[in-house]
Amino acid sequence: MPTDAAAKGVKLERYASGSALLLRRVASGKFVAASSHLLFRATVLATLALVFLFAFHYPSLLSRSFSLVSADASSSSGASRHTSHRSLLMSSASAASVYGGEKWEKEIRRSAKPRRDGGISVLVTGAAGFVGSHCSLALRARGDGVLGLDNFNTYYDPVLKRGRQRLLSDRGVVVLDADINDALLLEKLFEAVPFTHVLHLAAQAGVRYAMEAPQTYVASNVAGLVTVFETAAKHADPQPAIVWASSSSVYGLNTEAPFSEEHRTDRPASLYAATKKAGEAIAHSYNHIYGLSITGLRFFTVYGPWGRPDMAYFSFARSIVAGDPITLYADARRDFTYIDDVVKGCVGALDTAGRSTGSARTGKKTGPAPLRVYNLGNTSPVPVTRMVAILEKLLGKKANKRVVTMPSNGDVPFTHANVSHAAHDFGYRPTTSLDVGLRHFVDWFVEYYKLDTKIVKATRAADKKPATKKKAPAMSASS
Ligand SMILES: NC(=O)c1ccc[n+]([C@@H]2O[C@H](COP(=O)([O-])OP(=O)(O)OC[C@H]3O[C@@H](n4cnc5c(N)ncnc54)[C@H](O)[C@@H]3O)[C@@H](O)[C@H]2O)c1
């Protein structure tokens, strides 16, 4: 047996003789061949490094499920809600491994079970969101079964989402903490509960945020939508009918008004709009191939109590109260639609949705399933400046306004819905004026943020007096 030292000596000798050999090659004009060998090795190493880096940054392409990852569940500030591209697409364990067992199945079946004859059983995605929570409450109130799902992301204050979850829980509706990209969990849900309908509202909303975090829109509004359709098509038996939220933003740069479902929708002004438009095309393919009954609802600027803090009416109310300046786009008009009207539209769409007809599992196909799309708007656009004037009156305080020309940041100059199809097919008739709807919103806002109601009431009663002389109601620490 050679000793270690002897072995090292042999290695050194080989190394020395190898170097000498190389020198001889250089000397003999073979340098080119040797360096191309080295170059080849370096290229292989660099390629491996690149593959590693790519897999590290885009694990979603390699893994089956991925989900949004909260940046900071305790804050709603712009900085904290801005989760990085990599963290948004980071693979995570399926909630299916967390949720399960006899007790859990019993609980979700109880939540999803209708309590009236002929009641429907609905899986509501985005149930802790603004529209999702209101729809879930309305369905529950009339005796339908509801199971909610939401990933409670930090795009805006998750405390508000938890508050909505508590409201639902008080009425016996379970909202699971889960992502719509979690195919394993969705499969488990469809296998455990015979849902008649899915009300799919989970999405990355907001037009301007798409410039900050484009991948979140792709993850939730495109990949997530596919996961919902895919599992409903292949793992639910019978397949449920699906009603999902598209958006008025699909009309983009359309100038014909009012917007009708027949108008062109191929000029989106934002990535958000483009993902909703993509969703409508994806819906067409799942309806065509798998016979899924799918109804897309194009909502127009929905507002009301428990609303979204990122939307203008809500953020303006906060700024007015706090005395902060607000920026308005000159000439912008919106077809503001009150939440109760939208809820009636969603329920009407669920009640009239035809059955899904094709099942990938059984191979049965009994004819074409419905594929529908409807506008749900208010049919009367209002200048954003008027919306601010109503808020000023209700809050008893003048806004510190800065009016600027609308930049090309995804917003469109106006929206205006024609709702004749929804009116014809399920009696949709919006009845709430902006004055009345904003009053309901401000009543909730004042209570939720524990503003000094005496001051707000006094300013309402005397709204002729200059509001600037009155003391501004303070935001509570919970805001
Ligand atoms: N509010 C409006 O004015 C309006 C207008 C047009 C369209 N829409 C659409 O209506 C739907 C509901 O909007 P909203 O105003 O209630 O918004 P919202 O943000 O309050 O509700 C969406 C909910 O979905 C959840 N969510 C997001 N991505 C998810 C994911 N990957 N998995 C699970 N949950 C996820 C969020 O946590 C949130 O609670 C959305 O699809 C939105 O794009 C809303």
Closest-CA residue, ligand 1 atom 28, reads 203
Q: Is 207 in the pocket of ligand 1 (CB under 6 A)?
A: no
Model-level pTM greater than 0.85? Answer: no
Residue 336 confidence (pLDDT): 98
Residue 79 is predicted with a pLDDT of 37
Q: Whose CA is nearest to atom 42 of ligand 1?
A: 205
* Closest ligand 1 atom to 164 CA: 39
* Ligand 1 center–CA 204 separation, angstroms: 6
- Whether ligand 1 lies within 6 angstroms of the CB of 148 is answered as no
Count of CB atoms situated within 10 Å of the CB of 4: 7
Backbone angles phi, psi at 147, to 5 degrees: -120, 125
Q: Kindly give the distance from the C-alpha atom of residue 437 to the centroid of ligand 1, in angstroms, as a whole number.
A: 20
249 Cα nearest atom in ligand 1? 6
Best residue among 89, 136, 149, 153 to mutate for probing ligand 1's pocket (most ligand atoms within 8 Å of CB) is 153
Ligand 1 center from residue 45 Cα (angstroms): 44
- With a 6 A CB cut-off, is 201 part of the ligand 1 pocket? yes
Q: 115 CA distance to ligand 1 centroid (A)?
A: 27
SS3 for the chain is CCCHHHHHHHHHHHHHHHHHHHHHHHHCCCHHHHHHHHHHHHHHHHHHHHHHHHHHHCHHHCCCCECCCCCCCCCCCHHHHCCCHHHHCCECCCHHHCCCCHHHHHHHHHHHCCCCCCCCEEEEECCCCHHHHHHHHHHHHCCCEEEEEECCCCCCCHHHHHHHHHHHHHCCCEEEECCCCCHHHHHHHHHHCCCCEEEECCCCCCCHHHHCCHHHHHHHHHHHHHHHHHHHHHHCCCCCEEEEEEEHHHHCCCCCCCECCCCCCCCCCCHHHHHHHHHHHHHHHHHHHHCCCEEEEEECCEECCCCCCCCHHHHHHHHHHHCCEEEEECCCEECCEEHHHHHHHHHHHHHHCCCCCECCCCCCECCCCCEEEEEECCCCCEEHHHHHHHHHHHHCCCCEEEEECCCCCCCCCECCECCHHHHHHHCCCCCCCHHHHHHHHHHHHHHHCCCCHHHHHHHHHCCCCCHHHCCCCCCCCCC
Assess whether the C-beta atom of 132 lies below 6 angstroms from ligand 1.
Answer: yes
Q: How far, in Å, is the centroid of ligand 1 from the Cα of 368?
A: 29
Ligand 1 atom showing the smallest separation from residue 220 Cα: 31
Q: Active-site residues: which are they? A: 272
pLDDT for res 407: 83
Atom of ligand 1 nearest to the CA of 224: 31
**How many residues appear in the chain?**
479
CA 283 to centroid of chain Cα atoms: 17
How many angstroms does the Cα of residue 432 sit away from the middle of ligand 1? 22
Residue 157 C-alpha from the chain's centroid: 14
What's the token pair of residue 353? 């949705």
Pairing of β 197-200 and β 121-125: parallel
Going by alpha carbons, the residue nearest to atom 44 of ligand 1 is 299
Task: Give the residue, out of 201, 207, 225, 242, with the most ligand 1 atoms within 8 A of its beta carbon, to mutate for a pocket test.
Answer: 201
Atom of ligand 1 lying closest to residue 156 CA: 19
pLDDT at 92: 63
Q: Does the Cβ of 299 fall within 6 Å of ligand 1?
A: yes
Cβ of 335 below 6 Å from ligand 1: no
**CA-nearest residue, atom 9 of ligand 1:** 245
| Residue 420: φ, ψ to 5° | -60, -35
Adjacent-strand bridge partners of 114? none
Q: How far apart are CA 97 and CA 95, in angstroms?
A: 5
Instruction: Output the tens digit of pLDDT for each of the chain's 479 residues.
Output: 333 433 443 343 444 344 443 334 434 444 434 455 555 565 556 555 544 443 444 333 333 332 322 222 333 333 344 444 344 444 467 888 889 899 999 999 999 999 999 999 999 999 999 999 999 999 999 999 999 999 999 999 999 999 999 999 999 999 999 999 999 999 999 999 999 999 999 999 999 999 999 999 999 999 999 999 999 999 999 999 999 999 999 999 999 999 999 999 999 999 999 999 999 999 999 999 999 999 999 999 999 999 999 999 999 999 999 999 999 998 899 999 999 999 999 999 999 999 999 865 556 667 789 999 999 999 999 999 999 999 999 999 999 999 998 888 778 889 999 999 999 999 999 999 999 999 999 999 999 999 976 666 655 555 444 443 333 333 222 22
Residue 331 pLDDT: 87
C-beta of 345 in contact with ligand 1 (< 6 A) = no
Whole-number Å distance between alpha carbons of 1 and 21: 28
Give the position, in ligand 1's atom list, of the atom nearest the Cα of 248.
6
CA dist., res. 281 & res. 270, Å (int): 17
Buried b (16+ CB within 10 A) or exposed e, 317-350: bebbbeeeebebbeebbbbbbbbbbbbbbbbbbb
- Res 58: pLDDT: 37
**In the prediction, which pLDDT does 44 show?**
54
The finding on whether 247 has its CB within 6 A of some atom of ligand 1 is yes
Tell me how far the alpha carbon of residue 69 lies from the centroid of ligand 1, in angstroms: 16
